[in-house]
Structure 1
Amino acid sequence: MNALPARVLVVEDDEMIRELIRLNLELEGFEVFTAVDGQDCIDRVDHIAPHVVVLDVMMPRLDGWTVAEHLLARRNELACRIVLVTARAQEEDRRHGERIGVDAYMTKPFDPDALVEIVRELLEGEQE
């Protein structure tokens, strides 16, 4: 019997990037949900119960930093891993991500295959 596919929530305000990520993850067999901004993510995360959240940093309503901190504060009940994908490539931004406890940090432009690999590695780490 096959296990259910892992659920990934992609939170990105740029529709083209959101769809690119969604398509690449779906092609790899993940069940993908999308949110258009941070507030949309917060509103839907309990219903979706994602295994991984791929999260843009610069978004309207709620930015990715705020959303990541919210999700991490609820890590025991949500049990999701967080990948930040952002145009903010400064070392201080990367360190901020490490400080708040995100699992991975990718800068735009990014290789979709590399993102899929990071998601896969995070999920494999959960199963160990």
Structure 2
Amino acid sequence: MGTTADLSQGYRVIRATGELDILTTPLLSGKLADALRGTHIPRLVVDLTDVAFMDCSALGPLCTARARCLDRAGWLRLVHSGRAIGLLLHIVDLTGAFPRYATVDAARQGVVSAGPR
């Protein structure tokens, strides 16, 4: 899992790969906390394009980070293309909190995608 900063554009990108489950979620949580640290108005893009599997354990850190962003007048946006992540968000009624963005650039611009669900 990597983090890249594009502070010239005013946002940071966290790229996750592989599986997000109870074993790997602490790494995601740490990356989100690092990205929020020292950021006046946090704008985070979490790119899940290369995530093959995600269970509900990843939702807690994502919701916490999103709340922290919103509390500081920022945002957190999810990029994903797989049906499974969209379905998980739909089942737990989080599609309103985490609408789907097709690409990092679309997320940066705030262009929501109807994509798979």
Runs of 4+ in structure 1 over 3 Å off: 56-59
> Which residue does the alignment assign to 1:80?
74
Q: Secondary structure at the match of 1:48?
A: coil
Take 1:119 and 1:64, find their aligned partners in 2: how far apart are those partners?
22
Q: Secondary structure at the match of 1:98?
A: coil
- Give unmatched runs, 5+ long, in structure 2: 1-6, 18-26, 112-117
Report whether the alignment pairs 1:121 with 2:116: no
* Cα offset, 1:45, TM superposition: 0.6
Identity of aligned residues (%): 11
Cα RMSD over matched residues?
A: 3.5
- Give unmatched runs, 5+ long, in structure 1: 15-35, 123-128
Equivalent pairs, count: 88
> Which residue does the alignment assign to 1:46?
37
Of Structure 1 and Structure 2, the greater strand share is in 2
* Cα offset, 1:9, TM superposition: 1.4
Q: What code does the residue aligned with 2:11 have?
A: V
What is the TM-score of this pair, normalised by structure 1? Answer: 0.47
Take 1:77 and 1:39, find their aligned partners in 2: how far apart are those partners?
19
* Cα offset, 1:76, TM superposition: 4.4
Q: Is the 8 A contact 1:50 1:80 kept in 2?
A: yes
